[in-house]
Amino acid sequence: MPDASSHRPRRLLGACLALAWLFVHQPTLADDALMTGVHAFLYEQAQGHGEEVVIEVHPPSAHLPPCEAPQPFLTHASRPVLGRVSVGVRCGEEGRQVRYLQAEVGVIGDYPVAARDIAPGTTITDELLETRRGDLSRLPRQAVLDEAEVLGQVAQRRLASGSPLQAHQFQTRPLVERGQQVTVEAQGASFRVTREGEALEPGGEGERVRVRFANRDLITATVVGDARLAVDF
């Protein structure tokens, strides 16, 4: 029968390995500062979407060195800070070291939906929309959060009543049609000149459209109203 004392080295080795694992995977004060900084950064970015913000930041890899003077930034600055997001962090005084963390951001807030079925080609007005409240992170990636973004635009497809709005479902209402006779205004510091021409393509407010004049000259002007364009000097 083996002596019980022969198992002691194995038990001691196992205990040492367990303590080493705990030491390696235990978050350090530097990790805490990094997580706190990223959490505060995401809260600042997301709080404009709603009143209640819930953020979960996944801890950094245990194999990375501490991040000194963390400076968080968004890897996709053009996207709303909702749902799963990637956060870059510059480390060190000069920010030469960069690492990336993953986080989940949930925001309870208001968003517009179709108040009734909307047919393609319909110009969007206040009466066609209503407000819902919920977790904005569960909406489609291109969801519209501010109805002002689509007011005056035209629905490209049928929108079902109660459905969230998505940016790709709309287009700017054309103020200029292809082949239409338009007025082009050129204005400078001390002069203002208007000419009549033919639009060679359609365009909505703020879009640039080519115009051909009777003498065959071509210019590109900005749509500023119904059949009206402007050129700045």
Map out the domains of the chain as residue ranges.
Answer: 29-107, 108-171, 174-232
Q: 12-16, 156-160, 165-169: which range is least confident on average?
A: 12-16
pLDDT tens string 17-36: 333 333 344 445 557 888 89
Mean pLDDT of 152-169: 95
Q: Looking at residue 160, what DSSP letter applies?
A: -
pLDDT for residue 176 is more than 90: yes
**Has this prediction a pTM greater than 0.75?**
no
Is it true that 108-171 and 174-232 share their CATH fold?
no
Contact between 131 and 124 (Cβ < 8 Å): no
Q: What CATH number does domain 174-232 carry, 1.10.10.410, 3.40.50.1820, 2.30.30.760, 3.40.50.800?
A: 2.30.30.760
Cα separation, 159 vs 181, whole angstroms: 33
Whole-number Å distance between alpha carbons of 104 and 159 = 29
State residue 30's pLDDT score.
59
Tell me which CATH code domain 108-171 carries: 3.90.1210.10
| 210: pLDDT strictly greater than 60 | yes
| pLDDT recorded at residue 48 | 81
Q: What is the pLDDT of residue 16?
A: 40
Which pLDDT does position 233 carry in this prediction?
65
Question: What contacts 50, CB < 8 A, 6 or more positions away?
Answer: 107, 108, 109, 110, 136
**Is the pLDDT at 184 greater than 80, yes or no?**
yes
Give me the mean pLDDT over the 96-106 stretch.
Answer: 90
**Backbone dihedral region for residue 138 (phi beyond 0: left; psi -120 to 50: alpha; all else: beta):** alpha
